[in-house]
């Protein structure tokens, strides 16, 4: 009995010692957990820096912007510092040191490849540098680096699991010792057990907190990577769009000359000697296809001129039923599910019809690719609200109320890698000659230019759904007027004088010849100053037909000066590049008469007649 207090005191001392040992072990485990998280975060940062080097390098090669070059150099400096930091963190781990050495070598190869391509571009061979980048060597290096990163993370996870297992084993041994202590001295053991239980709960809570923190950091890192990936994709598409818009003006001017000259030759050709008319028709068809291609490129670049109105999507979809059935054929059944109480939206009706038709044709081709003899196309409308959570995961989306149009098919669906590239221009999974790869990119550009959002949901073997979100419009829907087919070409009178202002000589000559062919009297000017002189000298001018993009004085500025002299003179603008003085944010200015290049004689005749007659009705 006298030994019992001593035994109890000894057990207390042992219990305290065991509790301190457990706390120490737990603290050590927490230190290793933090060390593992730090290593994984640093490895992730290193991968992100390599990706930043890649994206900045590509941006510099595509656009030539020095900011990308500076970002690339900064990222390389940060990358070297990150690798040095990892070397210090893993100094006690031979496996990680070997893995890091391999990553260091791959990173050095990647940096050397990037610097050589930049040097090649700065040496004047930018096209060669781009071809070398597109060869896939840089991508293979990046994939090898990603595999190395996964290896390092897996090593750290394995080490952490082993250390936690040892901690748990030590804890259970301590509990066993406490149970023995209970058998020796009940009272002291109870006190010791309470104390041990209290300490154990604290340790468990600390471990749970550490685990929860690790999971939270992991989720945040994944979300950040996804957001950065979407941002890089948007930047890439924006760069391609700027390049597309830059070539559109000159390309459309050339097409205007080709189409116009062929049109004039065809009108003046008597009979059909030697099949010349057929050759002219073939050449004109090719030029018109090139014009349609330019229009699709401009739609993707969000630079097409839109004339939006408040419209009822239900009415628009219903009105397309016959067109869709004729276009898709009898083997495709078309179903519409129209929502009651649908909100109005503000969009260009003809472009929205084109977008739905594009999606329908893609759906038909997807169904045909499966070998099925029949399929189903479903078009649905609905009111939709995109909340902050949805927008937070998609940086280009603005939260708010939208009108949703869904086009679903029963085709073969798309794998994730195809969905990721679906909106890129010239990307297609169809056979050569059966698709331009511009259908979905045109839809993408139109929806984005209209302030909306487009998303693809697809599963291989089960079909695809494309959802268009167009902003809600507060106001009444306007009546949709479908243009009727016009067979005759309206002609003018000799007393109607048209002043053509165009800095491109061949386009100017074609426009004058075409107007004279139509019966008008045509004058021409190569710039704004000459046009002002002719307006002053010829007060009988009926219409000013002017290009918008001209040196020194653009078409809008010229019209303002002309209206100071002749306030009531009607003006018809034309251009092949729509980001200019009469189109802002993709929308035509109110009251502007506009004829996009390239145009045919029939289009010119109708637009000239509409502008003159409309101005007369308004006076």
Q: Kindly tell me if the per-residue pLDDT of 300 is higher than 70.
A: no
Q: Residue 193 — very low, low, confident or very high, per pLDDT cuts 50/70/90?
A: low
- The candidate with the shortest Cα–Cα distance to 548, out of 520, 579, 513, 521, is 579
> 441 is written with which tokens?
């990119």
Q: Kindly tell me if the per-residue pLDDT of 429 is higher than 80.
A: no
CA-angle at 373, arms to 370 and 378, nearest 5°: 80
Q: Kindly tell me if the per-residue pLDDT of 581 is higher than 50.
A: no
Choose from 67-81, 130-144, 146-160 the range with maximum mean pLDDT: 67-81
Q: Kindly tell me if the per-residue pLDDT of 305 is higher than 70.
A: no
Left if phi > 0, otherwise alpha if psi is -120 to 50, otherwise beta: which for 519? left
C-alpha to C-alpha distance for 80 and 104, rounded to whole angstroms: 9
C-alpha to C-alpha distance for 361 and 375, rounded to whole angstroms: 12
Q: Kindly tell me if the per-residue pLDDT of 259 is higher than 60.
A: yes
Phi, psi of 548, deg, nearest 5: -90, -45
- Return the number of other C-beta atoms located less than 10 Å from residue 83's C-beta: 18
Strand 541-547: give its sheet, edge to edge.
521-525, 497-501, 541-547, 571-575, 593-596
DSSP state of 579: S
Q: Kindly tell me if the per-residue pLDDT of 335 is higher than 70.
A: yes
pLDDT digits (tens, 9 = 90+) for 208-255: 888 888 888 877 777 777 666 666 666 556 555 555 555 555 566 666
Residue with tokens 């019809």: 353
Query: Average model confidence (pLDDT) for the chain?
Result: 79
Please list, in sequence order, all residues whose beta carbon lies within 8 angstroms of the beta carbon of residue 437, skipping any fewer than 6 positions away.
Answer: 424, 425, 426, 427, 428
- The candidate with the shortest Cα–Cα distance to 404, out of 331, 503, 338, 477, is 338
Mean pLDDT on 413-427: 80
Which listed CATH number (3.40.50.1980, 3.30.565.10, 3.65.10.10, 3.40.30.10) goes with 309-473?
3.30.565.10
C-alpha to C-alpha distance for 383 and 401, rounded to whole angstroms: 8
Phi, psi of 451, deg, nearest 5: 80, 20
Q: Residue 199 — very low, low, confident or very high, per pLDDT cuts 50/70/90?
A: confident
* Contact status, residue 519 vs residue 494, Cβ threshold 8 Å: yes
The CA-atom distances, in angstroms, between 8 and each of 20, 178, 190, 192, 563 are: 18, 12, 11, 10, 108
Pairing, β 463-473 against β 453-459: antiparallel
Phi, psi of 459, deg, nearest 5: -140, 130
Q: Kindly tell me if the per-residue pLDDT of 437 is higher than 80.
A: no
Residue with tokens 């050095």: 108
CA-angle at 40, arms to 36 and 41, nearest 5°: 115
Mean pLDDT on 183-208: 73
- Residues β-bridged to residue 543: 498
C-alpha to C-alpha distance for 184 and 196, rounded to whole angstroms: 16
What is the 3 state secondary structure string of 138-186? HHHHHHHHHHHHHHHHHHHHHHHHHHHHHHHHHHHHHHHHHHHHHHHCH
Please list, in sequence order, all residues whose beta carbon lies within 8 angstroms of the beta carbon of residue 277, skipping any fewer than 6 positions away.
Answer: 266, 269
Ranking 45-54, 173-182, 324-333 by mean pLDDT, the lowest is 173-182
C-alpha to C-alpha distance for 604 and 593, rounded to whole angstroms: 12
* Contact status, residue 313 vs residue 403, Cβ threshold 8 Å: yes
Q: Residue 203 — very low, low, confident or very high, per pLDDT cuts 50/70/90?
A: confident
C-alpha to C-alpha distance for 540 and 66, rounded to whole angstroms: 53
Q: Kindly tell me if the per-residue pLDDT of 495 is higher than 90.
A: yes
- The candidate with the shortest Cα–Cα distance to 500, out of 541, 451, 440, is 541
Q: Kindly tell me if the per-residue pLDDT of 4 is higher than 60.
A: no
C-alpha to C-alpha distance for 175 and 367, rounded to whole angstroms: 66
> 126 is written with which tokens?
């930018």
Give yes or no for a cis peptide into 598 (omega within 30° of 0): yes
Where helices occur in 469-598 by DSSP H, the ranges are 505-517, 528-537, 555-565
More confident site: 519 or 590: 519
The percent helix, strand, coil of the chain (3-state, each to 5) is 65, 15, 25
Contacts 24+ apart (CB under 8 A), 48-54: 48/225, 48/228, 49/75, 49/78, 49/79, 49/82, 50/79, 50/107, 50/110, 50/142, 50/145, 51/142, 53/79, 53/110, 53/111, 53/114, 54/110, 54/114, 54/138, 54/142
C-alpha to C-alpha distance for 360 and 336, rounded to whole angstroms: 12
Residue 92: predicted pLDDT: 83
Pairing, β 344-347 against β 463-473: antiparallel
C-alpha to C-alpha distance for 25 and 205, rounded to whole angstroms: 15
CATH architecture of 497-618: 3-Layer(aba) Sandwich (3.40)
540-560 in b/e form (b: 16+ CB < 10 A) is ebbbbbbbbbbeebbbbebbe
DSSP state of 490: P
Residue 1: predicted pLDDT: 46
Q: Do domains 309-473 and 497-618 have the same CATH topology?
A: no
Mean pLDDT on 160-189: 70
Q: Residue 570 — very low, low, confident or very high, per pLDDT cuts 50/70/90?
A: very high
More confident site: 453 or 439: 453
420-450 in b/e form (b: 16+ CB < 10 A) is eebbbbeebeeeeeebbbbbbbbbbbbbbbb
Q: Decide: helix, strand or coil at residue 109.
A: helix
pLDDT digits (tens, 9 = 90+) for 448-491: 888 899 999 998 988 999 999 999 988 766 655 555 444 578 98
Mean pLDDT on 78-102: 86
> 556 is written with which tokens?
């809008």
The CA-atom distances, in angstroms, between 195 and each of 16, 26, 145 are: 9, 16, 50
DSSP state of 288: H
* Contact status, residue 579 vs residue 549, Cβ threshold 8 Å: no
The CA-atom distances, in angstroms, between 149 and each of 5, 48, 465 are: 58, 11, 36
pLDDT digits (tens, 9 = 90+) for 389-419: 888 877 778 899 999 999 999 998 988 888 8
Number of H helices, E strands in the chain: 17, 14
* Domain ranges within the chain, ordered by starting residue: 3-242, 250-300, 309-473, 497-618
Mean pLDDT on 92-118: 86
């Amino acid at each position: 009995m006298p030994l019992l207090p001593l035994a109890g005191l000894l057990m207390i001392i042992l219990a305290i010692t065991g509790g301190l040992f457990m706390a120490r072990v737990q603290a050590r485990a927490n230190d290793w957990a933090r060390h593992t998280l730090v290593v994984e975060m640093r490895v992730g940062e290193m991968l992100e820096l390599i990706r930043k080097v890649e994206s900045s390098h590509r941006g510099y090669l595509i656009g030539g912007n020095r900011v990308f070059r500076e970002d690339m150099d900064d990222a390389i400096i940060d990358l070297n510092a990150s690798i040095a930091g990892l070397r210090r963190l893993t100094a006690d781990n031979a496996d990680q040191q070997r893995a890091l050495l391999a990553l260091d070598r791959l990173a050095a190869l990647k940096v050397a490849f990037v610097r050589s391509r930049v040097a090649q571009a700065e040496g004047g061979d930018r096209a060669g540098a781009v071809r070398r980048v597109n060869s896939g060597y840089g991508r293979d290096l990046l994939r090898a680096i990603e595999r190395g990163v996964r290896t390092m993370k897996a090593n750290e996870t394995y080490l952490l699991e082993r250390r936690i297992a040892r901690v748990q084993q030590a804890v259970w041994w301590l509990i066993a010792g406490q149970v023995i202590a209970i058998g020796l001295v009940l009272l002291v053991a109870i006190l010791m057990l309470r104390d041990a239980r209290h300490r154990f709960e604290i340790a468990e809570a600390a471990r749970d907190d550490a685990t929860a923190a690790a999971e939270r950091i992991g989720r945040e890192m994944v979300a950040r990577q996804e957001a950065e990936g979407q941002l890089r994709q948007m930047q890439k598409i924006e760069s391609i769009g700027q390049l597309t818009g830059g070539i559109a003006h000159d390309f459309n001017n050339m097409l205007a000359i080709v189409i116009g000259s062929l049109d004039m030759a065809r009108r003046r050709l008597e009979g059909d000697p030697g099949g010349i008319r057929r050759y002219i028709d073939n050449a004109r068809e090719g030029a018109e296809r090139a014009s349609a291609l330019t229009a699709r490129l401009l739609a993707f670049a969000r630079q097409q001129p839109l004339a939006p109105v408040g419209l009822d999507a239900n009415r628009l979809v219903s009105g397309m039923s016959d067109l869709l059935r004729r276009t898709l054929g009898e083997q495709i059944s078309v179903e519409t599910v129209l929502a009651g109480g649908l909100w109005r939206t503000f969009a260009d009706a003809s472009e929205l019809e084109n977008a739905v038709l594009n999606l329908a044709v893609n759906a038909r081709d997807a169904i045909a690719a499966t070998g099925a003899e029949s399929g189903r196309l479903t078009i649905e409308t609905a009111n939709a609200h995109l909340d902050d959570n949805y927008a937070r995961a998609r940086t280009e989306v603005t939260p708010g109320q939208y009108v949703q149009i869904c086009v679903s098919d029963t085709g073969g669906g798309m794998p994730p890698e195809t969905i990721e590239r679906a909106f890129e221009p010239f990307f297609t999974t169809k056979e050569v000659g059966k698709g331009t790869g511009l259908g979905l990119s045109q839809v993408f550009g139109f929806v984005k230019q209209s302030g909306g959002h487009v998303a693809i949901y697809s599963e291989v073997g089960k079909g695809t759904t494309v959802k268009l979100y167009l902003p809600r419009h507060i106001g009444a829907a306007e009546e949709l007027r479908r243009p009727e087919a016009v067979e005759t070409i309206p002609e003018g009178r000799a007393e109607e004088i048209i002043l053509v202002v165009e800095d491109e000589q061949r386009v100017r000559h074609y426009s004058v010849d075409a107007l004279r062919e139509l019966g008008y009297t045509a004058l021409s000017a190569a710039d704004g100053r000459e046009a002002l002189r002719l307006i002053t000298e010829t007060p009988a001018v009926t219409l000013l037909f002017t290009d918008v993009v001209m040196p020194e004085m653009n078409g809008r500025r010229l019209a303002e000066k002309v209206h100071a002299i002749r306030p009531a003179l009607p003006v018809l603008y034309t251009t092949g590049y729509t980001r200019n003085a009469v189109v802002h944010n993709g929308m035509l200015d109110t009251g502007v008469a506009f004829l996009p290049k390239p145009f045919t004689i029939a289009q010119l005749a109708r637009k000239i007649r509409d502008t003159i007659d409309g101005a007369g009705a308004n006076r």
